[in-house]
Structure 1
Amino acid sequence: MSKLFTKSFWDVVARIILRNKIVILLGVLAVTIFFSLQWKNMRFTYTEANLLPDDHEVNVTYQNFLDIFGEEGNLIVMGIKDSTLFTVEKMNAWNNLADSFKGYEAVDGVISIKDLQKLVKDTENERFVLEPFIKDSIASMAQLDKLQDELFNQYPFYDNVLFNKESKTIRSAIYMKKSIVNTAARKDFVFDVLIPKIEEFEKATEMDVRVSGMPYVRTLNAQNIVDEIGVFIAGALLVTSFIFFLFFRSIRATLISMLVVCLGVMWTFGIIGLLNYEITVLTALIPPLIIVIGIPNCIFLINKYQLEVKLHGNKVRSLQRVITKVGNATLLTNLTTAAGFGTFILTQSTLLVEFGIVASLSILAIFILCVLIIPIIYTFLPHPKDRHLEHLNKRWIGGFVDWMERMVKERRITIYITAIIVLITSIIGIYQIKISGSLIEDMSKEAGFFDDIRFFEEEFNGIMPLEILVDTKRKKGATKLTTLKRMDKLEQLIIETPELSKPVSIVGLAKYAKQAYTNGIPEYYQLPTSQENLFISSYIKNSSSNVDLLKSFVDSTGQYARITTFMKDIGTDKMERIEENLENEINKTFPKEQYEVTVTGKALVFLKGTKYLVKNLAISLSLAILLISLLMAYMFRSFKMIIVSLIPNLLPLVITAGLMGYLGVPIKPSTILVFSIAFGISVDDTIHFLAKYRQELQANNWKIKKSVYAALREAGVSMFYTSIVLFFGFSVFTISSFGGTVALGALVSATLLFAMLSNLLLLPSLLLSLERSIANKEDLKEPSINIIPNDDDDDDDDDDEIDIVESK
């Protein structure tokens, strides 16, 4: 019954498509226009990828910090390491550059050397006042020398904040408004204001300005993503169309395939816009992925059409059989591919959920386009000429097919031994895989901002913010001397950690206040005693109307204090050790009944997100395997066939994981995608091979060997074609400037190549070795889904063909 239902269903589909050509084309055009109108809703992400679920403890903690102190990633820094800076003209030019940003709406504040203030004791009024180091501009070298002496020797509060006294590196800080730092206004400021002004300054002074900070890095990184979308789409189209043309030697067939995949790309962008999703580093990969995945669909459909035309010369019957025979198989292979992507929907990570939804819907969309457009277009085209069918007679692939058949027939033991050796070697490699939680590892190494990141890491120990939130559980508790002493002890650990920068908090301000109270003597830059604190507190209170001493260090209630430090781009292992050391010190120093201290910040959130994804990798891959296994079970009704089909597809995944260990490619958000994607695509070959194998079993009266070799000869060619297209198609991603995208492209390409060899060598070998236990399975004879109709079913098509011809 299921066989008859499948056949009748696809007969009906073929009849509808070929009878309603104009209506369907107009429908496709209307849907394309509709999706095109959704493009306006597309927007590019302006924040880092948050890999954690919204309700994850780490995200909740980070959001709590933002609710108290606001966005912490709003700092842009400019730096110069140049001895010629310390001249009157160039130092004034540097300060003027910083001043020039102050009037812009996107800027909340600017701090440069010129903006630094001395905290000075006003004994008469018993308060602190601020006096600038530079009142207007520097007039002489004597004034500049005095400035250097004061900054580098007399005021440790500013050391490693705006300058490095050891290397004489100077930097200025631009604080963007927190309300617009994650909006398009940030991009406008960076590209229209910041970069032009810096370039003008560099040209005038012949000094090299280094620029960094999360708003700047995120803006340029996002722009790289935008720029590469077009490159990937063009590259995928060029590579796949060239390979397609080499196979078919037909410009007409190539152009038809390009039309289909281009429409698929347009629909993909429309889906992103319709769902109001952001274009991230992951969703940007989907349009070229659709091209790479869509071309094999075109190969199967067009190749079948040309085979049918060559066989009997009837164009209408050929198109009907293209839909009825290849449509079902193509649907199932696209479903398995979509299932591989669809498992990301269950990860609870917004980034991956959106990627999974868009990719799955786009794969189904490209299937629909292929099945509708290719047969319809060919109904309008003339009968294929002999030169269009010449590729069917090519003998160059024969040598490869003969080699496969010879290996399966004569070297089966060699295949098994090789597979076992490769498996063991790969498992050893898997134990060498490391996990990366770096925010910048996948960024373009060729981009100028990446070198600038390394510059600030060397000079100031990093740009990635790490925050420690101290909740004293009572108002004004953050300014108590006992709290300051506890915070100071924690800060000593941060200072002793080479991967972290000098911390900034109310502790430094309290030390600075004591130095000012003792008339500016540097040796007194330390926390005050209890008695001193009484006097200093009164000075601070009297200063509050003129000097906002606590701004950014403590919240308005005085209950919460923050310790801000910046982190180098370090490995996950180091970051975990640092976090563990901080947590141990916090537990020892801050009694839990009095304080609640949490470590947070963008760098930590990203690290935890990577760890979360690694834990979910097994779940995602297991779901993909389960879904595809259920599909195989429904198709073949044989448990042993499920095992036989999974082995050739799991082995390439193990090999790829082993290669990652040996080559030092870490597990990170981009490379995590490899396994589910590759598995969902590679199992398509297995479905095609087993479907053809089952058909040959029926045609050859259940003679196993004859059926295996026949399936290998026929299905092997198409599997080789599609695998080559997929291999070179995914290789396009290796031209990316993003390390993660390069790794994704290379690893998926390698996995699919291994999968092709595994399906063409290991799968038929297993079928032959297990023939006695598999061949007598009655349920295999009558599958739930008749993937490839038998040739003896074709006689029933004639009546339908007459209807179609008459309706033309």
Structure 2
Amino acid sequence: MKQFWHNLARTILNHRILSLVLLAILTIFMSIEASKVQLSYELAKILPKTDERFKLYESFKQRYGEDGAVMVIAAETDHMYDLNTFQHWYDLGEIIKNTGGIKDVISNANLPVLKKDEAAKKFVTDKILDKRPQTQAEVDAVREKIKNLPVYQDFIYNDAGNVHLMMVTFNQKTINDHSRIDIVKRIKKMALDFGNANQVKMHFSGMPFIRTEFTSQVTHELGLFLLLAIGVTSLILAIFFRSLKVVIFALIVVLIGIVSSLGIIVLFGFKITLLSGLIPPLIVVISIPNTIFLLNKYHEEYSLHGNKIQALSTSIEKVGQTLFLANLTTFVGFGVFAFTGSALLVEFGIVASINVMLIYLVSLVFIPIVFSYLPPPSAKNTAHLEAKRLTKVLTTINFWVNNHRGLIYAIIVLIVGTSVYGMTKIQAIGYIVDDLPRDNAIFTDLKFIEKNFKGVMPFEVNIDAYKPGRALTPQLLTKIKRMEKEFAKFPEFTKGLSLVTATKFIYQAYRGGNPKYFVLPGIDELNKLKEFNASLEGKQNSFNGFIDSTKRYTRVSFQMADVGTVRTNELIKILQPKIDSIFNYDAEAGIMHKIGDPEGYNAQITGNSVVYAWQNDYLQKNLVESTFQAIILICLIMALLFRSWKMVLISTLPSLIPLIITAGLMGFFGIALKPTTILIFSIAFGISSDGTIYFLTRYKDELLSKNRTIAQAVTETILNTGVSMFYTVVILFSGFFIFTASTFKGTQALGILISVTLLMAMICNLILLPAFLMTINKSDSRKKH
């Protein structure tokens, strides 16, 4: 193996021009590919395609369309029915409806109403207004009509009558397309213009709006993070190395990494998601340590003998192997996500892990070649190796390791014990908008609408009646009514919209519009309705999205508050058995029909908010598994490297303890366990292990190659490798800490927790790791190996 690295160093330095040409070709190719990169505007598909819940939701969307396709505009005013305000409200609805990409708009200015045509024996769907009202009397008449239509109460207006909704439904193509962003922005501007002109307070919500605002903010922040990462790392490099050349060529490596990450996304046929968009700034931070260790070794070697080429060759030989193992552990930390089965994590894992190794190769080739052409380092450039303050700190650490190991262990045990207690306080919960600050307009508007209308998050019940035409039977309508009564017991839900709602609406029209007849009629009355073509057919009917063309499938739609994944799962566990009992229990026979029995029904909970809860749970489970997989794989790497169970234990604990401390901090500070925070552990463990490898490989070299005692080897490793480790951690800490500039609390937590983890990992690698080495080899610590 030693000969391999020696030959590799010779090959790189003997074929410098060819190597640079090949790097240039790679960069140009990746740049061309990167120019083709596209953003993903679809909802993240986290559940695997084989998951039955995923299949149910996908079939539901194919049958009825996207359930999260409605943008909600809320007008808060006591003067909606003033002529001037109502005219402008009417105009707003008409303009939005004529906007490309919009399927429908419903408000109190264009509500569908049913009229009975006695002669033709049918119902006719009409609008509450034929045209823009011209008089106050017309507006007053509309207001009275709406009061007599119970179907729209708490759907279009609230109980107090001071909040009025406009429901904007996007067509299926637009909802997952880039054009959605422009349309949402235009609609928001038009609504705000209406509000300003009429002194009306406007609020916005609904999944299209929330998704668009999230995407816009995150896209803006990713660019900000990239610039901050480049700026911060450049500044720190300039301070450490005091050389503009180091900064420039380190940035070239970084830029190659950024371009390559985007190119890899395109080559694999992926699009940039909210998760994979984090890769470029991550690559900036992760790629810099390669440059630091190569240049530190180069400067160290050159200071010893003054031979530039020999110093560079030694850097490739000695540091190349160490960096390979360090990058391999980072590769594992990211790579485990590729085996989760979740498309979102698989894409992230593949791109990030490949790019980690690619940027390692670029650094190993590019940095030595470039510096082989540059003048040798001056005394000013190598001054960082003798930083007096840092040397003093490292000397103090060495003293403690040699003389106070018992106290070190006692402090570590106390910290770990406290952290384990903190871990017991961690809660696993996620909200659709929980990453937003409480004063963010998306959050405050959502809470406003939840207060007045309970919620806007889709919660659906999909019903399979097994036979065509069976979805319209009185028996099924009665069961749906019973189910809606069960849902009404829970304050999280709005009233259901279903065939029962449609039938009650029709029956009210059949009985002359009297609101007391907004009820589900008996079987005899239902049979009379059949004489009027009331089969809910035709594009003009507002309820045609609640039954399929064969009349075998139907749905019941509820909206719910953003109550969090824990409460959502509780509701599912409570309601699904009740639903099964309602739809499959035969009271006359006293039996429960099994799913698939044609005498029963298959009624299952699904919908956007439900799938979000399922996905959150799936991610948490898989990310925990991924963390353990990363730990096991990295332990195997350590076992192959050092061929000793003692060394595996020694190398694992300094990287594992920081994770325990981080988890404890999450518990104490109330940071919930969710996808953005669980992601921290496998990434941080992979990067933390880098420091362990840097230390142990140098220790091994000092012990064997230079024939030192264990105590001497530990001391030399602390004093020499400690400098590079310190510089690296400062870069990594600062690089990840930039994520605290985010407006999203999850991203802030990601930055803070990874930064803290890496800082604790450096402390463990510089203090605990050498203490372990001294203790386990206590009997040999004063004699040569």
TM-score range, shorter chain: over 0.9
**Aligned Cα root-mean-square deviation (Å):** 2.2
Does residue 376 (structure 1) correspond to residue 382 (structure 2)? The answer is: no
Deviation at 1:175, TM superposition (A): 1.5
Q: Which of 580, 601, 606 is the aligned partner of 1:600?
A: 606
- 1:699 and 1:276 map into 2 onto residues whose CA distance is 48
Describe the superposition over 1:690-742 as per-residue Cα deviations: whole angstroms up to 9, x where unpaired: 12222232367563223222222222222222111111110011111222211
Per the alignment, residue 171 of structure 1 pairs with 165
Superimposed CA distance per residue, residues 30-66 of structure 1 (whole angstroms, 9 cap, x where no aligned partner)? 1111111112432112122222111111101111212
- Tell me the secondary structure at the aligned position of residue 175 of structure 1: strand
* Residue of structure 2 equivalent to 1:794: none
Task: Provide the rounded CA distance (Å) in 1 between the counterparts of 2:694 and 2:127.
Answer: 77
Amino acid at match of 2:492: E
Aligned: 1:520 with 2:513: yes
Deviation at 1:201, TM superposition (A): 2.7
Question: What is the rounded CA distance, in whole Å, between the counterparts of 2:35 and 2:705 in structure 1?
Answer: 54
Q: Which of 48, 52, 58 is the matching residue for 1:57?
A: 52
Cα distance in 1 for partners of 2:231, 2:540 equals: 63
- Per-residue deviation, 1:310: 1.7
Query: Do 1:129 and 1:546's aligned partners in 2 also have CA atoms closer than 8 Å?
Result: no
Return the offset for 1:518: 2.0
1:210 equivalent in structure 2: 203
| Structure 1 unaligned blocks of 5 or more | 1-5, 782-808
- 1:103 partner amino acid: N
Q: Which amino acid counterpart does residue 176 of structure 2 have in structure 1?
A: N
Q: How much does 1:67 deviate?
A: 2.3
2:425 corresponds to 1:432? yes
1:460 aligns to 2:470 (yes or no): no
Determine the C-alpha separation between the residues in 2 that align with 1:698 and 1:331. 20
CA–CA separation in structure 2 for the residues paired with 1:764 and 1:118: 79
Offset of residue 675 of structure 1: 0.5
Q: Secondary structure at the match of 1:43?
A: coil
CA contact (8 A) 1:327 1:371 kept: yes
Q: Distance in 2 between matches of 1:185 and 1:725?
A: 39
SS at match of 1:360: helix
Deviation per residue, 1:221-265 (Å, 9 max, x gap): 222222122111110011111112221122221222112111211
Q: Is structure 2 residue 388 aligned with structure 1 residue 392?
A: no
- Trace 1:349-360 onto structure 2 (pairs within 5 A): 349-360=342-353
Q: Distance in 2 between matches of 1:448 and 1:198?
A: 15
Output the CA distance in 1 between the equivalents of 2:641 and 2:740.
Answer: 36
Q: Note closer, same or farther for the CA distance 1:103–1:482 as it changes in structure 2 (3 Å cut).
A: same
Matching residue of 1:104:
99
Alignment of 1:611-760 (within 5 A): 611-698=617-704, 701=707, 703-760=709-766
Q: Which residue of 2 aligns with 1:16?
A: 11
CA, structure 1 residues 618+190, in 2 after alignment: closer, same or farther (shift >3 Å)?
closer
CA distance in structure 2 between the partners assigned to 1:488 and 1:166 by the alignment:
27
Moved more, 121-130 or 508-517: 121-130
Amino acid in the other structure paired with 1:180: T
The answer to whether structure 1 residue 155 and structure 2 residue 161 are counterparts is: no
Aligned to 1:66: 61
1:192-203 to structure 2, matched below 5 A, reads 193-203=186-196
**Secondary structure of the structure 1 residue equivalent to 2:427:** coil
Which is further off, 639-648 or 124-133? 124-133
8 Å CA contact 2:454, 2:492 repeated in 1: yes
Range 485-494 or range 679-688, more displaced: 485-494
Q: Which of residues 326, 336, 341 is equivalent to 1:343?
A: 336
Residue type of the partner of 2:760?
F
Whole-angstrom distance in 2 between the partners of 1:761 and 1:686: 11
The verdict on how the C-alpha distance between 1:46 and 1:776 changes in structure 2, with shifts beyond 3 A counting, is: farther
| In structure 1, distance between residues paired with 2:539 and 2:404 | 88
Q: Distance in 2 between matches of 1:116 and 1:574?
A: 34
Tell me by how many angstroms 1:673 deviates. Answer: 1.0
> Structure 1 residues 543 and 640, CA, compared in 2 at 3 Å: closer, same or farther?
closer
Partner of 1:793: none
Among 223, 226, 235, the alignment partner of 1:233 is 226
Question: Which residue of the partner structure matches residue 77 of structure 2?
Answer: 82
Cα contact 2:454–2:560 (8 A) shared by 1: yes
| Residue 473, structure 1, aligned to residue 457, structure 2 | no
Q: 2:182 pairs with 183, 188, 198, which one?
A: 188
**Partner residue in 2 for 1:790:** none
SS at match of 2:129: coil
Give the drift of 1:29. Answer: 1.3
Aligned to 2:590: none
Deviates more, 1:113-122 or 1:608-617: 113-122
Distance in 2 (CA, whole Å) between partners of 1:739 and 1:507 is 42
Deviates more, 1:393-402 or 1:135-144: 135-144
2:118 to 116, 123, 127: 123
Q: Unmatched 5+ residue regions in structure 2?
A: 585-592
Give the secondary structure class of the aligned counterpart of 1:386. Answer: coil
Q: Equivalents in 1 of 2:288, 2:539: separation in Å?
A: 69
1:252 corresponding residue in structure 2: 245
The answer to whether the 8 A contact 2:157-2:164 is kept is: yes
Matched to 2:744, the amino acid is F
CA distance in 2, matches of 1:254, 1:205: 56
Partner of 2:24: 29
2:551 corresponds in structure 1 to 558
CA drift at 1:126: 3.1
Alpha carbons 1:468, 1:563 under 8 Å: kept: yes
The one-character-per-residue Cα deviations of 1:502-551 (angstroms, maximum 9, x if unpaired) are 21111111112222222222222111011111112222448857953641
Q: How many residues align?
A: 772
SS of the residue 2:304 aligns to:
helix
1:136, CA displacement in angstroms? Answer: 1.6
- Larger CA deviation: 208-217 vs 254-263: 208-217
Once residues 550 and 347 of structure 1 are traced to their aligned partners in structure 2, the CA distance between those partners, rounded to angstroms, is 40
Q: Is the 8 A contact 2:89 2:109 kept in 1?
A: no
Alignment partner, residue 797 of structure 1: none
State how far apart, in whole Å, the 1-side matches of 2:346 and 2:210 are: 25
CA contact (8 A) 1:221 1:443 kept: no
Contact 1:128 1:543 in 2 (8 A): no
Deviation at 1:131, TM superposition (A): 4.1
Residue deviations 1:299-338, cap 9 Å, x none?
1111111122222111111111121111111111111111
Q: Runs ≥4 in structure 1, deviation > 6 angstroms? A: 773-778
CA offsets 1:4-44 (integer angstroms, 9 cap, x no match):
xx222222222222222222222111111111111243211
- Paired residue for 1:583? 576
What is the TM-score with the length of structure 2 in the denominator? 0.94
Deviation sequence 1:127-185 (CA, Å, 0-9, x none):
3233432232233334333333332x311111122211325211111211113321223
| Aligned 8 A contact 2:624 2:678 in 1 | no
Asked if 1:507 is matched to 2:500, the reply is yes
SS of aligned partner of 2:488: helix
Q: Secondary structure at the match of 1:100?
A: helix
Distance 1:685 1:134, change over 3 A: same
Structure 1 distance, partners of 2:78, 2:500, is 32
**Aligned CA distance change for structure 1 residues 369 and 534 (closer, same or farther; 3 Å):** same
| Matches of 1:389 and 1:250, distance apart in 2 | 10
Identity of aligned residues (%): 36
1:770 counterpart = 2:776? yes
Equivalence for 1:801: none
Conserved? CA contact 1:436–1:667, under 8 Å: yes
Match of 1:495 among 472, 484, 488: 488
**Quick one: which amino acid aligns to residue 184 of structure 2?**
V
Are the aligned partners of 1:641 and 1:774 in contact in 2 as well (CA < 8 Å)?
no
Equivalents in 2 of 1:613, 1:774: separation in Å? 47
